[in-house]
A and B are shown apart, each in its own frame.
Chain A
Amino acid sequence: MKRRNFVQLAGMGAGAVMMPSLLMGNNIPTEALLEPGMDILMKKQMADVALNTAKSLGASYADARIGRYLNQFVRTREDKVQGVVNTESFGIGVRVIANGTWGFASTNDVTPDGIKKATEQAVAIAKANSKFQTEPVVLAPEASYGEVSWKTPIKKDFKEVPVSEKVDLLLTANAAAQSSGANFVNSALFMVNEQKYFASTEGSYIDQDVHRIWPTFGVTAVGGGKFKTRQAMSAPMGMGYEYLDGLASEKLEGPEGLKLYRGSYDMVEDATTAAKQAREMLTAKSVDAGKYDLVLEPNHLGLTIHESVGHPTELDRVLGYEANYAGTSFATIDKWKSKNFKYGSDLVNIVADKTQVGSLGAVGWDDEGVKTKKWDIIRNGVLVNYQAIRDQVKMIDQNESHGCCYAQSWNDVQFQRMPNISLEPGKEPYSINDMIKDVEKGIYIAGRGSYSIDQQRYNFQFGGTMYYEIKDGKIAGMLNDVAYQSNTQEFWNSCAKICDKDDYRLFGSFFDGKGQPSQVSAVSHGSSTSRFNDINVINTGRTV
């Protein structure tokens, strides 16, 4: 009911109390997170009930996904714990092709009877909808993998770390920020474990254990009639609790004492820095609108990559399946077929990758049993491929799925979702300091901020967390009220330099939305600090 109102009036009205359970599953005690769940042999038997039922009802293909989704969220503000929530959701989703048409149904009754009923419903839906189907579904061939498994290579399972340790970390970070000048701090830890079992009529039985973590905060300073919030410089990662170890070897020194983090995050240090920077923002100079060379830090550039390369190269958007919601795409089939559409400058190489260690998108197999891989989207500036799944690749004259099919849970149907989409680092040694030295009139932008892009992904406007003016090769202080506006193709063609692999880091989006009804997915975007010449910067300051 009124799902959209839940989102708009989040926490404001009736229904807010019920939201977590309906979205995430049932609340459970912390110890229950460690319970093993259904035995793998039992999962195979249950999946076979679905597959055999589907076949007996005339389905030409079926897959079953038995999923146990465990979440833990810890939220605090200043010296208060606002919530510790553990949720569990368990059930099975059955997808079939009958009469050349997809059908899907799901149930939390994971018994032979419950599964049989859901499968019958899926087949009935497929047959009913086949009346409207103009072209039958054709799946690209995929190997049968037998019984296999995959696990996110974690070192510390969040489920084994006591809640008190997590609460302590957040409260310590909050206190550090407050003693460094913050008026308010909201901090949170989001932790996810997807225990997914996939089986198909093609003979694959795939057991996967996927972990993700996102520590984050907003530090607010108030003064002089103004308020400014500095967000965390962490990234959500496909890692275990070890991401919070704060290893010195994974730290980078940015301009003006900015601390930057690669595969390990120091939350207390970042909160301390954040408070000082939030204070500094209150009195920073307002930017003069005009053209600047932008130096974009990976935790900022990742969102620009996500919006201006990730989404426009999703094949379902290109073909019009998302026209009524997210929109279509400027990266049309004819541009791709020309083999010379210059998406970016020669330096721009963008890869899709479902295997990258530490990334949010990494899995062994996707949610339709396709072995994951890495492939080019843009090579030497030219658009060379899209993101597609088994029933789509034939539409771009290919015979092998890209392996980027995903469903947010067992009770949602899987569809094409964005793999990790990343910018390759520059090949020659080149550091962030080298880059700043080479810029005459520019702005260094770090962290994510406001973002907006049109429905075909041409025109965008991005802000960041922090802005520093660059004058004659040197940082000349902090700026306020910065946003840049550009056109995707012009922007990527203005890419003039990319730092080397030592500066390469992942940015992540933990709750990327797509589809109707909307589903979320998590995806990473790697890059090194990059320079874009002559970009239009506007001043967003207003008097009201």
Chain B
Amino acid sequence: MAIFSKEEARKILEKALSFSTADACVVNLGGSQGGNIRYARNSVSTAGYQSNQSLAVTASFGKRSGTATIDELDDASLKKVVQRAEELAKLSPENPEYMDPLGPQQYDESKTFVEATANITPEYRAEVANSSITPAKTKDVTAAGFLDDGQGFSAMMNSNGLFAYNRATDVSFTVTMRTNDGTGSGWVTRDYNDINKFDASEASQVAIDKAVMSRQAKAIEPGKYTVILEPSAGLGLLQGLGRSLNARSADEGRSFMSKEGGGTKLGEKIVDERVNLWSDPLNDEVPAATWNGEGQPLKKTTWIENGTVKNLAYGRYWAKEKGVEPVPFPSNFIMGGGDASLDDLIKSTRKGILVTRLWYIRSVDPQTLLYTGLTRDGTFYIENGKIKYPVKNFRFNESPIIMLNNLETLGKQVRVDGSLIPYMKVRDFTFTSLSDAV
């Protein structure tokens, strides 16, 4: 039994804390269970089920801390794990950055758990595979996909009276469709907390259509192009910007967010004024937990407002050093969008490239947030408001900062990988070479 209710979790955590003799003690309890199915070559290749539970105790004497974990939760095991943590703490060097555990906190009720997702069966997973494989075969296409679903809970309690609990469900799906002549490939991704929002046939058909449409791609010269980035493609580069929100690296002078001559870019306009980026655990489309691993409440936080850096994330220690309030790291990203549909964006484009996704994205220069990677699984040339033909994949070298300064139009938002990202039309996106990959 890996999923405990709030009261069951509270009892176990109280029991563990009752064994503590340390100055401070924090106990985290978590469990998850879920299944997956993987298919390739139009046939199921593997299917699995995992169940985990784990309890972690961090005991502290002064500034010395030790952590021990265990997966058995009987009284004797709880006592043992607390003792181990205390022994480790006594042997550990002092951590000058040690912070006392937080006191009791108020949390919003999260929206992360949906019963239907917790009840997914192996038969359902097999049917999802079938929803890809059967239509693929009729179009001379080969499906390879992966569905992964699960439910989990996390809870924590500390010796200063804090208690937090959350339950969540999650399902993610990707499928790659390749035409049997090897010249076309399409892909789709979907992820939800609520399985009722998922339509495997609809998603699979998007990938099949892209595969068929992308056959016999033409090579066009690399260079600077106006691009329409589907939300998956945009997210890949926005994550790079998200990772630069750490105030400490910025203060230390080793981040894009560092200002020349000292200080940070907090309060500076860095991108087009239409860009707004925030996180919000209570958003209905991308709900997230309302507290983090340290027990800090997570609230709606604005990172970029009208193109200006509004907040950087401060851990508790660094906030104390700098004399500011801590700002917890985000649990999701939401980028403000507009009304334009993908069709609208294509219609308003005289000459440009539609990009389904970006792949193998790696940092090239952390100072400028320059990233490289490639387009994949559906890249199309647009002329006079219409998709004219598929084009060969490109390698890009681009920074999300340059991308968001070259913004033309924001489209509708779509959930991708737990974040809400709009379609974006961007001018002068830098493609540096061609790839033969399909």
Query: Count the A-B residue pairs with Cβ separation under 8 angstroms: how many?
Result: 249
Residues of chain A within 8 A of B395, CB atoms compared: 452, 454, 459, 461, 485
Contact present for B254 and A184 (CB under 8 Å): yes
Q: Does B359 contact A (CB under 8 A)?
A: yes
Partner of A323, one of B36, B176, B260: B176
Residues of chain A within 8 A of B435, CB atoms compared: 454, 458-459
- Please tell me which stretch of B47-55, B225-233, B340-348 contacts chain A, meaning at least 4 of its Cβ atoms lie within 8 angstroms of it: B47-55
CA distance A411 to B50 in the complex (A): 9
- Given A456-B438, A542-B399, decide whether A13 and B40 contact each other with a Cβ distance below 8 A: no
Contact present for B374 and A18 (CB under 8 Å): no
Q: Measured between C-beta atoms, what is the minimum distance from A413 to chain B in Å?
A: 7
Residues of chain A within 8 A of B365, CB atoms compared: 481, 540-542
CA distance A451 to B374 in the complex (A): 12
CA distance A248 to B255 in the complex (A): 37
Partner of A14, one of B129, B175, B331: B331
Residues of chain A within 8 A of B313, CB atoms compared: 12
Contact present for A4 and B417 (CB under 8 Å): yes
Q: Measured between C-beta atoms, what is the minimum distance from A110 to chain B in Å?
A: 13
Q: Measured between C-beta atoms, what is the minimum distance from B356 to chain A in Å?
A: 13
Contact present for B67 and A452 (CB under 8 Å): no
Contact present for A452 and B41 (CB under 8 Å): no
Q: Does A203 contact B (CB under 8 A)?
A: no
- Given A16-B293, A29-B84, A481-B365, decide whether A455 and B329 contact each other with a Cβ distance below 8 A: no
Contact present for B437 and A17 (CB under 8 Å): no
Partner of B364, one of A13, A324, A327, A540: A540
CA distance A96 to B175 in the complex (A): 27
Q: Which residue of B lies closest to A13 (CB)?
A: B331
Contact present for A454 and B418 (CB under 8 Å): no
Q: Which residue of B lies closest to A24 (CB)?
A: B69
Q: Which residue of B lies closest to A124 (CB)?
A: B122
Residues of chain B within 8 A of A520, CB atoms compared: none
Contact present for B28 and A17 (CB under 8 Å): yes
Q: Measured between C-beta atoms, what is the minimum distance from A71 to chain B in Å?
A: 13
CA distance A132 to B128 in the complex (A): 13
Interface of B is mostly: strand
CA distance A216 to B71 in the complex (A): 31
Contact present for B368 and A132 (CB under 8 Å): no
Contact present for A459 and B146 (CB under 8 Å): no
Residues of chain B within 8 A of A517, CB atoms compared: 36, 48, 148
Residues of chain B within 8 A of A128, CB atoms compared: 47, 122
Q: Measured between C-beta atoms, what is the minimum distance from A6 to chain B in Å?
A: 11
Contact present for B68 and A456 (CB under 8 Å): no
Contact present for A18 and B38 (CB under 8 Å): no
CA distance A495 to B252 in the complex (A): 42
Q: Measured between C-beta atoms, what is the minimum distance from A175 to chain B in Å?
A: 15
Interface string of A1-17 (1 = CB under 8 A from B): 11011001101111111
CA distance A225 to B253 in the complex (A): 8
Query: A181-214: which have CB < 8 Å to B?
Result: 183-184
CA distance A481 to B366 in the complex (A): 12
Q: Measured between C-beta atoms, what is the minimum distance from B244 to chain A in Å?
A: 11
Q: Measured between C-beta atoms, what is the minimum distance from B156 to chain A in Å?
A: 8
Q: Does B145 contact A (CB under 8 A)?
A: yes
- Please tell me which stretch of A57-65, A238-246, A314-322, A398-406 contacts chain B, meaning at least 4 of its Cβ atoms lie within 8 angstroms of it: A314-322
CA distance A16 to B45 in the complex (A): 31
Partner of A21, one of B34, B54, B129: B54
- Given A14-B292, A81-B95, A320-B41, decide whether A1 and B437 contact each other with a Cβ distance below 8 A: no
Q: Measured between C-beta atoms, what is the minimum distance from A411 to chain B in Å?
A: 8
Q: Measured between C-beta atoms, what is the minimum distance from A511 to chain B in Å?
A: 15
Contact present for A485 and B432 (CB under 8 Å): yes
Partner of A452, one of B97, B329, B331, B362: B362
Interface string of A381-420 (1 = CB under 8 A from B): 0000000000000000000000000000001010000000
Q: Measured between C-beta atoms, what is the minimum distance from A14 to chain B in Å?
A: 5
Q: Does A73 contact B (CB under 8 A)?
A: no
Contact present for A18 and B330 (CB under 8 Å): no
Interface string of A516-537 (1 = CB under 8 A from B): 1100000000000000000010
Q: Does A331 contact B (CB under 8 A)?
A: no
Contact present for A9 and B330 (CB under 8 Å): yes
- Given A227-B367, A516-B36, decide whether A320 and B68 contact each other with a Cβ distance below 8 A: no
Contact present for A80 and B96 (CB under 8 Å): yes
Contact present for A320 and B178 (CB under 8 Å): yes
Partner of A5, one of B372, B373, B374, B418: B418
Q: Does A102 contact B (CB under 8 A)?
A: yes
Q: Does A99 contact B (CB under 8 A)?
A: no
- Please tell me which stretch of B166-174, B318-326, B382-390, B420-428 contacts chain A, meaning at least 4 of its Cβ atoms lie within 8 angstroms of it: B166-174
Contact present for B239 and A8 (CB under 8 Å): yes
Contact present for B437 and A327 (CB under 8 Å): yes
Contact present for A15 and B293 (CB under 8 Å): yes
Q: Does A463 contact B (CB under 8 A)?
A: yes
Residues of chain B within 8 A of A21, CB atoms compared: 54, 56, 69
Q: Does B234 contact A (CB under 8 A)?
A: no
In addition to A17-B56, A454-B395, A544-B399, 20 A-B residue pairs with Cβ atoms within 8 Å of each other are: A4-B417, A9-B242, A13-B289, A14-B289, A16-B292, A21-B69, A26-B68, A104-B48, A321-B45, A323-B176, A323-B178, A324-B145, A454-B359, A455-B359, A455-B374, A461-B372, A487-B436, A516-B36, A517-B148, A538-B432
Interface residues of chain A, those whose CB is within 8 Å of chain B, are 1-2, 4-5, 8-9, 11-18, 20-22, 26-30, 80-82, 84-85, 102, 104, 108, 125, 128-129, 132-134, 167, 183-184, 220, 222, 225-227, 229, 319-325, 327-328, 330, 411, 413, 450-459, 461, 463, 481, 483, 485, 487, 516-517, 536, 538, 540-544
Name 15 interchain pairs, CB-CB below 8 A, sorted by A.
A1-B34, A9-B242, A18-B154, A18-B293, A20-B69, A183-B254, A184-B252, A227-B366, A320-B178, A330-B436, A450-B363, A452-B373, A458-B437, A542-B402, A543-B368
Which 7 residue pairs spanning A and B have beta carbons closest together?
A12-B329, A225-B260, A459-B435, A454-B437, A323-B144, A456-B437, A1-B152
